[in-house]
Structure 1
Amino acid sequence: MEQRGEAEVPLVLLATCKEWADGEPGHAALDAALAAHGLASRWVLWDDLSVDWGMAEVVAVRSTWDYDSRLGEFLGWASGVGPALLNGVEVFRWNTDKRYLTDLQRVGLPVIPTVTAETVFDVRKAADGFGLSVVKPWVAAGGRGLEVVADGKVWLPQPGAHLGPWVVQPLVDTIHHYGETSVFVIAGRPVSQVQKLPSRTDIRVHEQFGGTSRSVELTEKAASLAAEAVATVVDLLHQEIVYARVDMMQFRGRLVVSEVELTEPGLYLDVLPLNALPFAEAIAARAYPHTW
């Protein structure tokens, strides 16, 4: 709780990193939505040792976009926050390792085919089977460490690149004209959708690599697949999923999952400021004590 005048109001801590110390892009919409629910909120660095996480009714991981280079430290922090942490450390531990895609694949969710590779020879075998392929580290964020493999038989990591282990996937050629679509699922309900396109010189849709994003109408097919993906995770992990962003691509004539972001997915508030409303509502439902 935090004191406001004579009243105490629930406190929400929004975890971020040094590069985004003021909050994720478009954070003013979330700040306003939380205030409208009567909540006090603060953006704080997840690795700031002076923060008392126990004083918050809710802790929401938002723009902690440096976790991939400090995963052990990040998971150690999350394990110490306790039940106030949305989604929680068990979900984070599973979701920050891209091998989770093979779990989803195994239980039948339509996912871009994904093979794990612990050695260069594993990568070569998988890429040779797929043809033009994409190689990614097991732990990576923001498109970092991604490589395109044209000839699996002779592939070696680029100088200074990630040295394994990896996941290998076919390069989905629809990325160039369809791009990637993302559906935001909050409190179990698909609420909005964005379409993301890469630049002409890259396959990554992230802004730092020249990608662009725009709000589009939530389609029935995308919403259905997103809801199925989150329900599948709940069945696998037996954990509550308060928020998720499900990324999808067109592959072999159908929509398939490319990522299920459950740890620190950007809400794209600069493109979809209304995402702040259901997110704040989900936080408020957990911040106020139930009296029944």
Structure 2
Amino acid sequence: MTAPLVLLATDRAHAEGEPGHAALDAAFAERGIRSRWAVWDDPAVDWAEAALVAVRSTWDYEHRLADFLAWAEAVGPRMLHGVDVFGWNTDKAYLLDLARDGRVPVVPTEVPSTVQDLRAAVARVRPAVVKPRVGAGGRGLVVVDDLDAWSPPSDPGAWVVQPLVPSVREEGEVSVFVIDGRPVAQVRKVAGEGDVRVHEEYGGSSHDTPLSEEATRIALDAVGAAAKILDRELVYARIDLLRHEGRLMVSEIEVTEPGLYLDVRPANGGLFADAVAARL
């Protein structure tokens, strides 16, 4: 009998797989599951041949969100999470839904719709972080301190405003991985010198750390709240947390294409493969 095939969706810049992908590739092979990385917008890929499709590193969706969501819809029920989850999670306005749910602390977030509202939102929380509602990898993020010297973007309805959380430069950002309903790992991400972005391309670094009780509790509550809002099981998630006003708060919840940080935490590969195997 032919082993089931899992297609791992990625983008052209990561056609071989996300960083550290060898750990995930090996984990699937050890479980008798065939796996292959496939570029999501490659017309030559036959997604119907897969028993299951898992979005992994489609980190270019921000420029073609409508196309990405149309592709996910076309793949249909063999897709983990699916288009409804992706449509909600790729627009950072979802943070307002989480805040309204009331179960988890969320970094204060505003989604202004006019230039006047955008400037007012920035003025309330200066220094402010202004970032695209649809974006990945820290691209497009700016820190605004001097309101008079700042030129607002021309499309204010496409941005979110948050206070600059000082701890991102000191304590860093905490990411908790929740797979199959269990917190399984925690990574501390530190911003590069002179920046607030924790991504490696901006000088940031990531470090495997023990799970903490506070981060674990908030991560579980965040996944539970998101699952309730979406009325869907969330097989995997990465919860990003920042310490604001003395406590950890959710800065983002990634359930579309969260990097597993396999180069820092290779054991995540086996845990992810187990969750996929359970659903084949």
Give the TM-score taking structure 2 as reference length. 0.97
Alignment pair present for 1:42 and 2:36? yes
Amino acid at match of 1:228: D
For the aligned residue pairs, the C-alpha RMSD in angstroms reads 1.3
Q: 1:151 Cα shift?
A: 3.0
SS at match of 2:78: coil
Decide whether aligned partners of structure 1 residues 205 and 162 sit closer, same or farther in structure 2, where only a CA change above 3 A counts: farther
Quote the Cα distance in structure 2 between the aligned partners of 1:88 and 1:76: 11
Aligned to 1:177: 170
SS at match of 2:219: helix
Q: 1:152 Cα shift?
A: 3.5
Aligned length: 279
Q: Is the 8 A contact 1:245 1:261 kept in 2?
A: yes
Alignment pair present for 1:232 and 2:232? no
Aligned to 1:4: none
Match of 1:272 among 249, 265, 270: 265
Deviations 1:19-77 (CA, angstroms, capped at 9, x unpaired): 00000000000000011110000000000111111111110000101000010000000
SS at match of 1:34: helix
Q: 1:221 Cα shift?
A: 1.0
Quote the Cα distance in structure 1 between the aligned partners of 2:146 and 2:265: 39
SS at match of 1:83: helix
Alignment pair present for 1:251 and 2:251? no
Quote the Cα distance in structure 1 between the aligned partners of 2:69 and 2:147: 34
Give the TM-score taking structure 1 as reference length. 0.93
The aligned runs of 1:124-139 (5 Å cut-off) are 124-139=119-134
Aligned to 2:139: 144
Quote the Cα distance in structure 1 between the aligned partners of 2:149 and 2:51: 53
Q: Gaps spanning 5+ residues in structure 1: where?
A: 1-6, 288-292
Alignment pair present for 1:8 and 2:14? no
Alignment pair present for 1:285 and 2:278? yes
Q: 1:286 Cα shift?
A: 1.1
Aligned to 1:17: 11
Quote the Cα distance in structure 2 between the aligned partners of 1:152 and 1:166: 16
Quote the Cα distance in structure 1 between the aligned partners of 2:193 and 2:137: 18
Amino acid at match of 2:230: L
Quote the Cα distance in structure 2 between the aligned partners of 1:82 and 1:281: 22
Q: Gaps spanning 5+ residues in structure 2: where?
A: none
Quote the Cα distance in structure 2 between the aligned partners of 1:279 and 1:122: 42
SS at match of 1:73: helix
Q: 1:130 Cα shift?
A: 1.0
Alignment pair present for 1:62 and 2:56? yes
SS at match of 2:42: coil
Q: Is the 8 A contact 1:120 1:155 kept in 2?
A: no
Quote the Cα distance in structure 2 between the aligned partners of 1:225 and 1:256: 8
The aligned runs of 1:187-226 (5 Å cut-off) are 187-226=180-219
Aligned to 1:89: 83
Deviates more, 1:47-56 or 1:20-29: 47-56
Q: 1:155 Cα shift?
A: 3.2
Amino acid at match of 2:184: V
